[in-house]
Amino acid sequence: MSRLKKDIAPGEPHIALRRKGVTYYVPSLFHMAPTHQKIVPLLIRDVLRSKNPLEIYGAQGLRINQEGYILVKNHPIKTLKICGRVMLFTSHNFPSAFGHKDYEFYLLYVDDSLGHKLTICVKVDPSHITAKDLEKDGLLVEITGVLAPFHDGLKQIQASEIRVVGKKADIDVECEWWAHALKTRKSLQTPWIYIPPRINNVDAPTPVFQYNDLKIRHQKRQVLRSLADDNSHSFASSRNEPAQVMDSFAIYATEEPNRNLGEARYKTVPQDHQKRHASIARRSELLCGSQEVDTVEVIDLTSE
């Protein structure tokens, strides 16, 4: 068979890949799934047919695979619950060294009677149930646990709780379980959809720009251009570099020039800027030379 095509959803970091119309999200978003930290009732058929995270995520799914996660559609499930009859059980005892307690456990083979050869292996600690109870014919048990490492190549459940819910003749209890598990199965057939939050900048302050500001900026632009043109030969060419705007300051003519003053008049500035303005005044004298100039003002653009 040809390999299934994968869509890795470029530009969407919350999506790991898409396959057969199902979107698989990155493992870091599993806590957002509706099945997170819930005990999910499943049929044995669904457990056996569930996907291993390594099949979907590759090396990225190593950690969640070790934690016992399985995937039904794209729903991540860790803790699950099954119900069925004990068809067979075996007892295992491994002696320990240095006087420690022997390692003992049971392996139960459970069938929920919903398919041919649909039996799953369950590993149970002897503290949860006795061998005497397991020897009863047709014992109906409810098991809660996580998927453990495979046993002989088959999926195996590590039981954290086991409860006897019926005997051989208790068919009604088994039917109630089927109805409950089938209802959950129907809801899991709809893939989980995660919508990432979107950041809106509607609350950002809107800058206020008035007509007077536009007029002043236009005047500044005209004066700067005229200064650059008038002094490009005398100043820029002598230094072999293009004309430059002096830092964040601009010089522009006032509306009512006073040609009788013969010198520049400067706007009052804070004391910590006086030295800088004095330096700019000397630079403006270099630009203007000994010619008479209109009354000018030095404006700090950084304050706007």
pLDDT tens, residue by residue, 123-142:
999 999 998 999 998 899 99
Domain ranges of the chain: 15-188, 212-303
CA dihedral 223, 229, 234, 240 (to 10 degrees): 110
Nearest Cα to Cα of residue 243 among 256, 253, 255, 234: 234
Q: What CA–CA distance (Å, rounded) separates 277 from 267?
A: 10
Query: Which phi and psi angles does 287 have, rounded to 5°?
Result: -70, -45
Q: Which two tokens stand for residue 52?
A: 């291993």
| Residue of 160, 192, 189 lying closest to 82 (CA atoms) | 160
CATH for the stretch 15-188: 2.40.50.1040
- Who's near 140: CB < 8 A, 6+ residues apart? 83, 84, 85, 164, 165, 166, 167, 168, 170, 173, 174
What is the per-residue pLDDT for 113?
A: 86
Q: How many CB atoms lie within 10 A of CB 21?
A: 7
pLDDT of amino acid 21: 85
Residue 112, beta-bridge partner list: none
Count the residues in the chain. Answer: 304
- pLDDT single digits (tens) 148-182: 866 566 789 999 999 999 998 889 999 999 999 99
pLDDT per residue as tens, the chain (304 positions): 334 456 666 668 888 888 888 999 999 999 999 999 999 999 999 999 999 999 899 888 899 988 889 999 999 999 999 999 999 999 998 887 777 788 899 999 999 988 777 899 999 999 999 989 999 988 999 999 999 866 566 789 999 999 999 998 889 999 999 999 999 999 999 999 998 887 665 565 666 667 777 788 888 888 888 776 666 555 445 555 554 444 444 444 444 444 444 444 444 444 455 555 565 655 555 555 544 444 444 444 444 4
What was the pLDDT predicted at 163?
A: 94
Q: How far is Cα 89 from Cα 251, in angstroms, rounded to an integer?
A: 95
Q: How far does Cα 240 stand from its chain's mean position? A: 54
Question: In the structure encoding, which two tokens stand for residue 69, read together?
Answer: 């996660």
Distance CA 50, CA 69 (A): 10
Among 131, 151, 153, 133, which Cα is nearest to 141's?
133
